[in-house]
């Protein structure tokens, strides 16, 4: 079975041994390698910069955090969990819930129930893990807590033997013995099959609190792939979830949802958000915060945790710093990706002296920011920075080239198919839509010129809209 998000990112040995450790050795290039928090758990806490509303996101409040791809949603989720688990007392039981799409033909309340049952199954698994790791807690608890825990496990875990086999390496031998006892005994009745969400959550939270946990955090992240696969279905199920107020009224139960920015508008219309049963945040960053991220990572890479190194320390050219600021947009991943290139160049040149102006210029020339189009929103990005001064006609040309990446386009093709949107290229005066080249040549050249002005760092030396000399073919380079 595929490891869950928490299992991947918080294997128990890491939680127990590494949480409070900071290394003083330089971490090297790895700090800029993958730029995905899932692979940075060993040192993320050393370099993490908290968003402005971080304090409001932690604690037992339910929240939904919206952010673009690369804005740091996963890093935020990991940091919240890490700090919560470091609490001496009353740390929450963190549930990694990886939702599976329920049958969307169901009515809304059935949809919510299907989702809720998934979450409870994940909670039951986490409860088993907690019991297995701290069996003395359950043994010392009042009998009603023991029966509640056993009932909950039986109710929501279908194949207990398989579940226990999954947990074998994570729990103590004594804990496994206790879990096997629970599995082997029919549980006493706690709640009927008709129990409501509110009643079930109340029992779960009280039970956990008597077992030494402050409550429950249900972490839901990794939804970018969901949205890409089926945005409307994702919106429907999560809007239903966020409109089920019973999920947000139990003080010891908290849902922390990290969602892509493009589904923000419909989810904000859910009644749970509108009635402020849960708080909503948008993950955006100031240039001060983004600079701080770069300082910390460069410092960790070159000197060790807790150290700061600025881009200005690595290169003499202020244009390089401006290049990072401009094309990094307001995306942490953007800033770090481009800063990583500066670090690479610095290290490849010996890592002892700042890069000279010539070295910086060469670096920028070799690394034009990637051109990217968001075809859904008709947006253009250079690196992570939106390009806003593209006229509609110029955008049509760019879009055609972008959606035909392997083609070397003639001007004729570009005009008829790109600019005019025809599905064919008229060749003769008798063909539908034909125009004499003299009539459109100037228009096309003017539009191409405006497009180059908008996206090229040097329109006279284009790096994106490239013309094959002597042949007149146009194609797009440095795009993704």
Partner 1 sequence: MDEILAAAGFKRNPFKFRESSGDPHLVDYIVNSETFALAWADEPALILAAAGAGKTAMRIFTARTCWTSLGRKHPFPLPYYLPQHFDGATFFSREAHLQAIVRAGAASLLLGLAYRPEYLLNAAPEIRLQTARLLANHLPSPLRRYLEILQEEQNVQALPPLLDRAYVLPEPPSRAVLLEMCTVLGEALAQLPSYPGSPGQAFTDLTTLLLDGYQFRSILLLLDGVDGFADLGQDAALTCQALAPVVECIPAWTKEKVYFKGFLPLEMSAAFQAAFKDIWELSNIRLIHWEPDELAGMLRRRVAKATGGNFGSLDAISSPALRDVETQLVKECPALPRHVIIFAERVLLAAYQRCEGHFIQISPEDIETARKGFPPHS
* Residue of 160, 245, 316, 422 interacting with partner 1 (CB under 8 A): 245
Side by side, which strands form the sheet with 371-374?
Answer: 371-374, 379-382, 385-387
* Residue of 29, 34, 275, 424 interacting with partner 1 (CB under 8 A): 275
Q: How far is the CB of 243 from partner 1 (least distance, A)?
A: 3
69 sits near partner 1 (criterion: CB under 8 A):
no
Q: How far is the CB of 291 from partner 1 (least distance, A)?
A: 18
* Residue of 150, 273, 311, 336 interacting with partner 1 (CB under 8 A): 273
Rounded to the nearest 10°, the torsion over CA 11, 77, 256, 136 is 30
**Three-class secondary structure of residue 371 per DSSP:** strand
User: Could you tell me which stretch among 49-57, 179-187, 423-431, 466-474 binds partner 1 (CB under 8 A)?
Assistant: 49-57
**Three-class secondary structure of residue 245 per DSSP:** helix
> Which residue lies nearer to partner 1 by CB, 57 or 164?
57
308 sits near partner 1 (criterion: CB under 8 A):
no
3-state secondary structure 282-303: ECCCCHHHHHHHHHHHHHHHHC
Letters for 90-129 (x = contact with partner 1 by CB under 8 A, - = none) are -----------------xxx--xx----------------
In this structure, the chain runs to a length of 480
* Residue of 270, 291, 331, 339 interacting with partner 1 (CB under 8 A): 270
189: left (phi over 0), alpha (psi -120 to 50) or beta: beta
Which residue in 314, 348, 259 sits closest to 68, CA to CA?
A: 259
* Residue of 274, 353, 421, 449 interacting with partner 1 (CB under 8 A): 274
**Three-class secondary structure of residue 172 per DSSP:** coil
Q: How far is the CB of 462 from partner 1 (least distance, A)?
A: 39
Letters for 393-422 (x = contact with partner 1 by CB under 8 A, - = none) are ------------------------------
C-alpha neighbours within 13 Å on the C-beta side of residue 38: 9
3-state secondary structure 78-144: HHHHHHHHCCCCCCCEEEECCCCCCCCCCCHHHHHHHHHHHHHHHHHHHHHHHHHHCHHHHHHCCHH
Give me the residue label for tokens 């922390």.
Answer: 256
C-alpha neighbours within 13 Å on the C-beta side of residue 326: 14
Q: How far is the CB of 100 from partner 1 (least distance, A)?
A: 20
Letters for 130-169 (x = contact with partner 1 by CB under 8 A, - = none) are ------------xxx--x----------------------
292 sits near partner 1 (criterion: CB under 8 A):
no
> Which residue lies nearer to partner 1 by CB, 264 or 475?
264
> Which residue lies nearer to partner 1 by CB, 4 or 53?
53
Structural contact between residues 216 and 206, judged by C-beta atoms closer than 8 angstroms: no
Backbone phi, then psi, for 304, in 5-degree steps? 125, 165
Rounded to the nearest 10°, the torsion over CA 61, 63, 69, 72 is -20
3-state secondary structure 175-240: HHHHHHHHHHCCCCCCCCCCCCHHHHHHHHHHHHHHCCCCCEEEEECCCHHHHHHCHHHHHHHHHH
15 sits near partner 1 (criterion: CB under 8 A):
no
* Residue of 216, 235, 240, 380 interacting with partner 1 (CB under 8 A): 240
330 sits near partner 1 (criterion: CB under 8 A):
no
243 sits near partner 1 (criterion: CB under 8 A):
yes
Q: How far is the CB of 248 from partner 1 (least distance, A)?
A: 8
Which residue in 101, 119, 72, 86 sits closest to 219, CA to CA?
A: 119
268 sits near partner 1 (criterion: CB under 8 A):
yes
> Which residue lies nearer to partner 1 by CB, 248 or 416?
248
> Which residue lies nearer to partner 1 by CB, 130 or 239?
239
* Residue of 157, 205, 364, 390 interacting with partner 1 (CB under 8 A): 205
236 sits near partner 1 (criterion: CB under 8 A):
no
Tokens of 425: 């290229």
> Which residue lies nearer to partner 1 by CB, 144 or 440?
144
* Residue of 183, 246, 422, 463 interacting with partner 1 (CB under 8 A): 246
189 sits near partner 1 (criterion: CB under 8 A):
yes
Give how many residues touch partner 1 by CB under 8 A: 49
DSSP string covering 380-449: EEETTEEE----HHHHHHHHHHHH-TT--B-HHHIIIIIIS--SS---STTSTT---HHHHHHHHHHHHH
249 sits near partner 1 (criterion: CB under 8 A):
yes
* Residue of 251, 306, 421, 442 interacting with partner 1 (CB under 8 A): 251
Q: How far is the CB of 191 from partner 1 (least distance, A)?
A: 6
Side by side, which strands form the sheet with 93-96?
Answer: 93-96, 216-220, 253-260, 63-67, 279-282
| Residue ranges binding partner 1 (CB under 8 A) | 50, 52-56, 107-109, 112-113, 142-144, 147, 188-192, 195-199, 202-203, 205-206, 239-240, 243-246, 249, 251, 268, 270-271, 273-277, 279-282
């Amino acid at each position: 079975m595929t490891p869950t998000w928490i299992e991947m990112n918080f294997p128990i040995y890491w939680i127990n041994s590494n949480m409070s450790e900071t290394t003083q050795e330089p971490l090297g290039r790895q700090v800029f390698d993958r730029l995905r928090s899932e692979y940075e758990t060993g040192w993320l806490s050393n370099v993490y910069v908290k968003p402005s509303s971080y304090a409001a996101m932690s604690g037992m409040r339910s929240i939904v955090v919206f952010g673009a791809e690369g804005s740091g949603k996963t890093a935020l989720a990991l940091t919240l969990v890490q700090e919560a688990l470091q609490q001496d007392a009353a740390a929450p039981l963190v549930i990694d819930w990886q939702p599976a799409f329920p049958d969307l033909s169901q009515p809304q309340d059935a949809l919510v129930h299907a989702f809720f049952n998934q979450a409870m199954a994940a909670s039951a698994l986490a409860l088993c893990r907690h019991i297995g790791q701290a069996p003395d807690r359950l043994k010392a608890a009042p009998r009603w807590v023991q029966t509640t825990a056993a009932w909950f496990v039986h109710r929501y875990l279908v194949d207990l033997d398989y579940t226990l086999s999954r947990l074998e390496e994570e729990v103590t031998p004594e804990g496994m013995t206790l879990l096997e006892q629970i599995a082997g005994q029919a549980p006493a009745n706690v709640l009927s099959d008709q129990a409501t969400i509110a009643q079930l959550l109340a029992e779960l939270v009280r039970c956990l609190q008597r077992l030494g946990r402050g409550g429950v955090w249900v972490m839901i992240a990794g939804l970018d792939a969901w949205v890409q696969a089926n945005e409307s279905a994702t919106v429907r199920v999560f809007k239903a979830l966020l409109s089920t107020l019973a999920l947000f009224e139990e003080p010891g139960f908290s849902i922390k949802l990290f969602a892509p920015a493009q589904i923000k508008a419909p989810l904000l219309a859910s009644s749970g958000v509108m009635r402020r049963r849960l708080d909503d945040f948008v993950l955006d960053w100031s240039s001060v915060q983004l600079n701080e991220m770069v300082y910390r990572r460069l410092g960790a890479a070159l000197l060790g945790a807790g150290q700061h190194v600025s881009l200005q320390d690595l290169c003499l050219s202020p244009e390089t710093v401006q290049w990072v600021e401009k094309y990094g947009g307001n995306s942490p991943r953007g800033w770090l990706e481009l800063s990583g290139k500066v670090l690479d160049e610095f290290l490849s040149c010996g890592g002892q002296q700042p890069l000279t102006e010539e070295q910086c210029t060469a670096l920028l020339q070799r690394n034009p920011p990637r051109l990217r189009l968001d075809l859904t929103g008709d947006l253009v990005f250079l690196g992570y920075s939106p390009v806003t001064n593209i006229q509609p006609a110029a955008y049509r040309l760019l879009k055609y080239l972008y959606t035909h990446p392997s083609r070397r386009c003639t001007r004729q093709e570009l005009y008829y198919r790109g600019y005019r949107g025809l599905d064919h290229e008229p060749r003769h005066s008798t063909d539908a839509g034909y125009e004499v080249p003299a009539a459109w040549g100037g228009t096309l050249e003017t539009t191409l010129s405006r497009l180059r002005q908008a996206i090229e760092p040097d329109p006279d030396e284009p790096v994106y809209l490239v013309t094959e000399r002597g042949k007149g073919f146009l194609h797009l380079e440095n795009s993704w």
